[in-house]
Amino acid sequence: MSTDASVPLAKNEDSPRGFAFALTAYLLWGFLPIYMKAVAHVSPAEVIAHRIVWSLPLAGIVLIVLGRTQDIRAALGSPRMLAMAALTASLITVNWGTYVWAIGAGHSLDAALGYFINPLFSIFLGAVFLKEKLQPLQIAAIALAALAVAILALDSGGIPWVALTLAVSWGFYALLRKTLPLGPNQGFFLEVLILSGPAVLYILYLEFGGQGHLYRTGLADTTLLLGCGVITAVPLMIYANGAKLLKLSTIGIMQYIAPTMIFLIAVFLFHEPFGTARMVAFPLIWAGLFLYSWSMLKGSRGR
């Protein structure tokens, strides 16, 4: 899943085409838990391996159509760029793995919480690592998110590790991608290219060991696992093309669409318990996001 609002914009204005692209991507991400629930009987590691392997040809086709394959050749010749891409690939693998496990294990609400927290955590990272100045409303928003996490920790007797892992892994992923001098499509291809070797070996190990689900367990599993490439690559590519046609503030607001859908699916479709602590924590997060959005919109109008 992607909520990075740092994609370079061609113009500081919204376009209907950009809005349609971004909305499509966020809706696809919002419905992703239903797909992940369908493969919940498959281990998260196997699902991630298939997401990587079957994303690679789709991402490659996009680069060929766009005529940007030379960017990949240049990146493969740069040890520094390869090292950075390997690090971002590791972070996205952690994010994907946590998400897939959370949906399959009945923790979709925690996944939604993680992606609600993410923009507030990204503000914090920007202040710490990029020396971005925090506005009073942003400080209040981060404080509300921290309070919500503390309430959930006290209620469960431990930290809400699913939500925090998703927020932290994606936050650092987005931060590090800022330093990778590649476009979003090229960067995604390079990441899955780096991961594809281990992923292929793992799939072969499972299949030859009689534990894989690609061929042994029927057409439904085969179709779902092959489709992992589509549900991974297509929203990312659509989002990348939409984000550069929208204002940063517009993308910032739209990024709440997917976690809101995940939240609704978790409660009304998966019937996950929504206890007292969550009844307090989620409104605190939503209040923090309101303050964050208000601050961002004020800044946008000011500019």
Q: What is the pLDDT of residues 15-73, one digit of tens each?
A: 899 899 999 999 999 999 999 999 999 999 999 999 999 999 999 999 999 899 999 99
pLDDT at 2 over 60: no
pLDDT band at 157 (very low <50, low <70, confident <90, very high): confident
pLDDT at 226 over 60: yes
Question: What's the pLDDT at 44?
Answer: 97
Report the percentage of the chain scoring pLDDT > 70.
93
Decide if 72 contacts 63 (C-beta within 8 A). yes
- What's the burial of 301, exposed, middle or buried (CB within 10 Å: 0-12/13-18/19+)? exposed
Q: Would you state the structure tokens that stand for residue 261, as one six-digit string? A: 């859908």
Please give the average per-residue pLDDT across 218-245, as a whole number. Answer: 91
Decide if 118 contacts 133 (C-beta within 8 A). no
Please give the average per-residue pLDDT across 84-93, as a whole number. Answer: 96
Question: What's the pLDDT at 301?
Answer: 61
Please give the average per-residue pLDDT across 6-21, as a whole number. Answer: 68
Helix ranges restricted to H, 39-78 = 44-66, 69-76
Q: How far apart are CA 301 and CA 303, in angstroms?
A: 5
pLDDT at 249 over 80: no
Query: Dihedral of CA 125/128/132/134: which sign?
Result: positive
Question: What's the pLDDT at 10?
Answer: 45
pLDDT at 3 over 50: no
Q: Would you state the structure tokens that stand for residue 202, as one six-digit string? A: 């793992």
Residue type, 191: E
Question: What's the pLDDT at 6?
Answer: 42
Question: What's the pLDDT at 180?
Answer: 84
201's CB contacts (< 8 A; 6+ apart) are none
pLDDT band at 108 (very low <50, low <70, confident <90, very high): very high
Residue type, 221: D
Decide if 163 contacts 99 (C-beta within 8 A). no
Question: What's the pLDDT at 126?
Answer: 87
pLDDT band at 1 (very low <50, low <70, confident <90, very high): low
Neighbours of 105 (CB within 10 A): 12
Neighbours of 22 (CB within 10 A): 24
Please give the average per-residue pLDDT across 279-294, as a whole number. Answer: 93
Q: How far apart are CA 140 and CA 37, in angstroms?
A: 36
Question: What's the pLDDT at 236?
Answer: 86
Nearest to 138, CA basis, from 303, 301, 256, 299: 299
Please give the average per-residue pLDDT across 82-96, as a whole number. Answer: 96
* Backbone phi and psi for residue 46, each to the nearest 5 degrees, phi listed first: -70, -40
Residue type, 210: G
Query: Between 250 and 114, where is the model more confident?
Result: 114
Lowest mean pLDDT among 140-149, 188-197, 221-230, 243-252: 243-252
| Integer angstrom CA distances of residue 248 from 10, 48, 183, 293 | 11, 30, 17, 11
- Tokens 């987005």 locate to 174
pLDDT at 169 over 60: yes
Q: How far apart are the first and last CA of the chain?
A: 30
